[in-house]
Structures are given as structure tokens and as C-alpha cells.
């Protein structure tokens, strides 16, 4: 009987290697039932182990090495059954099960650290790509109350989880511009997608595949590195937003409110417009204020002034109409060519 039980347990574990935990549990239950039945058969009728419920309790206590001592075999045959079944085999199966659980936990953590486990959640933020700025960007996202408890999935072609110490950050290893990697990150269930690969070419391909796979309500923001790539991104059909290089704080606000999107117009340097900086000379006349300057430059030269650098190095964007302008101040403006020989208004 003992050899038959050993053979059955061995076959059960071998067949169920993929589900080893279930196999070990089933084998342990079978061991408890068999040892309870055998101890009932070999123990005297007047023994406490002659009843199945008591025999099962004794099998559990003995196999787990608890050993209360309230029940024990009185016959030599019963002692042999106790040694062979609940003691030796029970302890062995228990150790095997504990080892299996530990190995499963270690394997899962290892897969998580190496990005091998697919993400199965939904309504998450998908960060496509990873650069030196990604950590700060993730920190700013989690500071925003709108995203405080939301999962963030980082999809990047790197070896290990770049931010294992951060809460609610999941890592998927793979090329961010491929459909298979995007599907591993469960892109079809994402609520918000930020494409930030550090390469405009890679971001462009990632954007094209993202627009194919995302749900209609998902918001897509792609970060453009070079101003020369803006036209290429803008030519891609679909509902998304392109932003130029921004700070992490501006990126998060652009994701949520799109309030910084007009900034890319100012940052865009193409054949038609450039950004220039000019210093205010000694006007030698009555004080000049911002609006007459702005209006004069626009009317006379088609220059668009938008910011002021004061003499004490304070930057003022879109100053008040009566903000004073004096010698030594700097003016940022957009023009088709470098401003020279400017006639300053009085």
C-alpha cells in the first residue's frame, strides 16, 4: 500500500508540474485520507483512532508536526503507519509545498522586475518609453490629485524595472513602437497615454500604433524633441496632442488640461518665424510702456512681442499694458528675420 501511494503521488506531481501547487495540495489531502483509513484499520476497536473524524484529526496534527498528544496509536502496526504516512510523507509534502510557494513568489517578483509579466489592469496611465526625465515625470504625475491612486505602466526596452521603489508603477519590457509590446501593456484599456521615448522617430512609430490600438476615450500626448519634427507629427491623422520640450510639471498639466499646448507655437522654429531677444536702448524721452511697444512692433514690423526680461533679471510673460519699459530691459519677440535698425516708439 505504501509503495502504491508513493507511486501515485510521484505520478500526480509529475503530471501536474505546470500546476504543482494544486498537485501538492491534492497529494496532501490524499495522504491524510489514506493515513486516517489505515490507522482505523490497524488500531483496536476501543482506540480513539477507530473513528474517522478522530483519525483525520490525528493525521493532520501528526503530519504538521504539531503533536498535541491527545491521540496516538496504541498498536505496533499503528505506530508503523504513523511513521510511514503522516510523519515522513506528510512532512516531506509540507516542505515541498512551502518551497513551491516561495519559488512561485520569487519567480513572480523576478518577472515583474524584468518586465516579463503582462499588465492586466485597466484605466491606467501608459508611459511609452523611458528617458532620464521619466522618474521626475512619474513623480509629478503621482503628485497630481487626479492621478494619485492610478496605476502607471512604463513600457521601455530596458533590462530591469527602472522605478521598483515607487508605488503603483508597473514595468513592461519591450520596444515601445511595436504593437506586441503595446498590447502587453494592455493599451486598449488605458485611460491616458504619454509617448516619451527620447527619439522623435521612435515616438512617431509608437504614436501610429497607439492610435490603432487605443480606445476612443483615451487621451494621447506625444512629446516632440526637435522643432523640425512638429510638421511630421501634425500630419498624422487621429486625436492626439503634440507638445514640445517642457518641464515635468508642464507635461503633467498638459496631459490633464492641455493649457500649455499653445507654447509649442512659441517654441517652433521654422523657415517663417524665429524667436529673438533685443535690448532696449536709452530712449532719452518719456517712459515707454508695454502696450505701445507691442502695438508699434506689430504694426510697423509685424513682430510679436510676448515676454520681458527686466534689468533685475525678472522674466515677465505677457506684461500688463502699462508695465514700464526702460533702458537695459530685454524683449523676446517672434519675427521672420533678425530685428535690426529698430525705431523705438515714444
Shortest CA distance to 218 belongs to which of 255, 190, 176? Answer: 190
- The pLDDT tens digits of the residues spanning 231-270 come to 888 889 998 888 876 556 566 666 665 544 444 444 544 4
Task: Please provide residue 172's backbone torsions phi and psi, each rounded to the nearest 5 degrees.
Answer: -120, 125
- The pLDDT tens digits of the residues spanning 324-336 come to 998 889 998 888 8
Q: Exposed e or buried b for every residue in 203-230, given b needs 16+ CB within 10 A?
A: bbbbbebbbebbeeebbbbbbbbeeebb
Stretch(es) of the chain classified as CATH 1.10.287.70: 2-113
The answer, yes or no, to whether residue 10 has pLDDT greater than 90, is no
Judge contact between 49 and 73, C-beta under 8 A.
yes
Cell numbers standing for residue 250: 508642464
pLDDT, residue 249, reads: 58
Q: What is the DSSP string of 103-147?
A: HHHHHHHHHHHTT-SPP---SPEEEE---TTHHHHHHHHHHSGGG
Number of H helices, E strands in the chain: 12, 12
Q: Using DSSP, state whether 43 is helix, strand or coil.
A: coil
Q: What percent of the chain has pLDDT over 90?
A: 29
Backbone torsion region of residue 302, taken as left when φ is above 0, otherwise alpha when ψ lies between -120 and 50, otherwise beta: left
Return the CATH architecture of domain 2-113: Orthogonal Bundle (1.10)
The answer, yes or no, to whether residue 16 has pLDDT greater than 50, is no
Q: Which residue has the higher pLDDT, 13 or 196?
A: 196
CATH fit for domain 274-335, picks 3.40.1000, 3.30.70, 3.50.70, 3.40.50: 3.30.70
The answer, yes or no, to whether residue 210 has pLDDT greater than 70, is yes
CATH class of 125-267: alpha beta
Q: How far apart are CA 295 and CA 345, in angstroms?
A: 9
Average pLDDT over residues 20-41: 80
> Full-prediction pTM beyond 0.95?
no
Average pLDDT over residues 309-317: 88
Stretch(es) of the chain classified as CATH 3.30.70: 274-335
CA angle 145–150–153, rounded 5-degree value: 130
Place of cell 516561495: 102
Amino acid at each position: 500500500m505504501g509503495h502504491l501511494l508513493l507511486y501515485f503521488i510521484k505520478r500526480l506531481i509529475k503530471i501536474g508540474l505546470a500546476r504543482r501547487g494544486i498537485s501538492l495540495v491534492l497529494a496532501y489531502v490524499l495522504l491524510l485520507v489514506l493515513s486516517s483509513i489505515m490507522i482505523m484499520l490497524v488500531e483496536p476497536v476501543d482506540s480513539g483512532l477507530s473513528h474517522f473524524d478522530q483519525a483525520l484529526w490525528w493525521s493532520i496534527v501528526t503530519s504538521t508536526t504539531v503533536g498535541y498528544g491527545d491521540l496516538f496509536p496504541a498498536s505496533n502496526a499503528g505506530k508503523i503507519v504513523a511513521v510511514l504516512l503522516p510523519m515522513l510523507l506528510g512532512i516531506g509534502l509540507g516542505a515541498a509545498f512551502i518551497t513551491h510557494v516561495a519559488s512561485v513568489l520569487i519567480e513572480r517578483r523576478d518577472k515583474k522586475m524584468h518586465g516579463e509579466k503582462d499588465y492586466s489592469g485597466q484605466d491606467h496611465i501608459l508611459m511609452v518609453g523611458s528617458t532620464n526625465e521619466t522618474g521626475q515625470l512619474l513623480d509629478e504625475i503621482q503628485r497630481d490629485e487626479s492621478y494619485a491612486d492610478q496605476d502607471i505602466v512604463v513600457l521601455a526596452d530596458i533590462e530591469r524595472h527602472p522605478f521598483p521603489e515607487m508605488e503603483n508603477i508597473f514595468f513592461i519590457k519591450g520596444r515601445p513602437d511595436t504593437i506586441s509590446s503595446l498590447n502587453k501593456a494592455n493599451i486598449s484599456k488605458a485611460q491616458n497615454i504619454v509617448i516619451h521615448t527620447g527619439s522623435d522617430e521612435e515616438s512617431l512609430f509608437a504614436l501610429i500604433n497607439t492610435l490603432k490600438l487605443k480606445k476612443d476615450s483615451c487621451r494621447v500626448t506625444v512629446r516632440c524633441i526637435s522643432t523640425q519634427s512638429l510638421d511630421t507629427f501634425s500630419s498624422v491623422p487621429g486625436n492626439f496632442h503634440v507638445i514640445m520640450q517642457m518641464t515635468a510639471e508642464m507635461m503633467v498639466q498638459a496631459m490633464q488640461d492641455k493649457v500649455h499646448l499653445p507654447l509649442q507655437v512659441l517654441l517652433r522654429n521654422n523657415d517663417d518665424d524665429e524667436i529673438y531677444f533685443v535690448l532696449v536702448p536709452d530712449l532719452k524721452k518719456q517712459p515707454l510702456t508695454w502696450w505701445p511697444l507691442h502695438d508699434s512692433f506689430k504694426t510697423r514690423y509685424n513682430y510679436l512681442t510676448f515676454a520681458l526680461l527686466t534689468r533685475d533679471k525678472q522674466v515677465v510673460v505677457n506684461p500688463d499694458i502699462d508695465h514700464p519699459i526702460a533702458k537695459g530691459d530685454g524683449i523676446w519677440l517672434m519675427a521672420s528675420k533678425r530685428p535690426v535698425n529698430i525705431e523705438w516708439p515714444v
